[in-house]
A and B are shown apart, each in its own frame.
Chain A
Amino acid sequence: MEETIKLHYVVPGDDFTRAGAASGDVKHTLKQLGVSPAVIRNVSIAMYEGEINMVIHAGGGEIDVEISEKDIKMTLADKGPGIANVELAMKEGYSTAPDNIRTLGFGAGMGLPNIKKYTDSFRIETQVGVGTTLFLSVNIA
């Protein structure tokens, strides 16, 4: 893998049926590239949680992925409501998801903590009323 592979996805808002399409595609690509299952798992989980967050909270968003020999970089950007208290949002079990989302199996308050747990580098930029962008990377090997 000498060149950087760049992938771009649009995550539609309010459509749970399509959430997982981007992470599923990246998973497939990484598998074809022969990346280790552990790295693939970390990337897939982080991305899927990100996709779900975009659907639940932000009315969708966009994801850019860059795969190099060294790492997999992901940028997840949305124009949603932003996060008022990042510290609280990072706490396991804290959730602002509505009840109808919980009946689907989400809203456990594990989204952002899971994303942090499964990535080697995690940075969040958020502004209330403007949106949220996550800058993530997972090291290869």
Chain B
Amino acid sequence: MTVKELAEKLELKILTQGELEKDVTGCYSGDLLSWVMSKAEPGDAWLTVMGNVNAVAVAVLTDCACIILTENAALDEQAKQKAELQGITFLQSGKNAYELSVAVSKLL
């Protein structure tokens, strides 16, 4: 399933467009960046409330497929610019991490 398909099926808002054709192969949920860095796998859809520049750096380092901001967490302007520069896709949903994890799991 591609990032684009995932966004369509889960009705996620696309905040920044990276590689929308990238394959989503897993899912990881967490807000502590060191934790995410060491545990998230390449290809994961990463669920978090962290819409800051550091999240962009972590997404780049872990090669995750996309970041999904849960519960409509905000993406700050600086992070938006950096994400566009680095080709990171930010998606956004009103659902919480649990609801989204379950929904992603049903699709993969």
Interface residues of A (CB under 8 A from B): 16-17, 19-20, 23-24, 27, 37, 41, 44-45, 48-49, 52, 104-106, 108, 110-111, 114, 117-118
Instruction: Select A23's contact among B34, B35, B38, B61, beta carbons within 8 Å.
Output: B61
Q: In the complex, are the beta carbons of B38 and A48 less than 8 A apart?
A: no
Closest Cβ–Cβ distance, residue B44 to chain A (whole Å):
13
Q: How far is the CA of A114 from the CA of B61 in the complex (A)?
A: 14
Q: How far is the CA of A125 from the CA of B86 in the complex (A)?
A: 34
Which residues in B have their C-beta under 8 angstroms from that of A108? 32-35
Q: In the complex, are the beta carbons of B32 and A105 less than 8 A apart?
A: yes
Which residues in A have their C-beta under 8 angstroms from that of B2? none
Q: In the complex, are the beta carbons of A106 and B34 less than 8 A apart?
A: yes
Q: Are A105 and B55 also in contact (CB < 8 A) when A41-B61, A48-B37 are?
A: yes
Q: How far is the CA of A122 from the CA of B31 in the complex (A)?
A: 27
Instruction: Select B54's contact among A24, A41, A106, A110, beta carbons within 8 Å.
Output: A106
Q: In the complex, are the beta carbons of B34 and A44 less than 8 A apart?
A: no
Q: In the complex, are the beta carbons of B61 and A104 less than 8 A apart?
A: no
B78 within 8 A of A: yes
Q: How far is the CA of A44 from the CA of B56 in the complex (A)?
A: 14
Main DSSP-derived SS at the B contact region:
helix
How many residue-residue contacts, CB under 8 A, span A and B?
68
* Number of residues on chain B facing chain A (CB within 8 A): 23
CB-based nearest B residue for A118: B38
Q: In the complex, are the beta carbons of B37 and A16 less than 8 A apart?
A: no
Q: List 21 A-B contacts (CB under 8 A).
A: A17-B53, A19-B54, A19-B57, A20-B56, A24-B61, A27-B61, A37-B42, A41-B61, A41-B63, A45-B37, A52-B54, A105-B31, A105-B32, A105-B33, A105-B52, A106-B33, A108-B32, A108-B35, A110-B38, A111-B34, A114-B38
B50 within 8 A of A: yes
B60 within 8 A of A: yes
Q: How far is the CA of A19 from the CA of B54 in the complex (A)?
A: 8
Q: Are A49 and B53 also in contact (CB < 8 A) when A17-B78, A20-B60 are?
A: no
Q: How far is the CA of A49 from the CA of B34 in the complex (A)?
A: 7
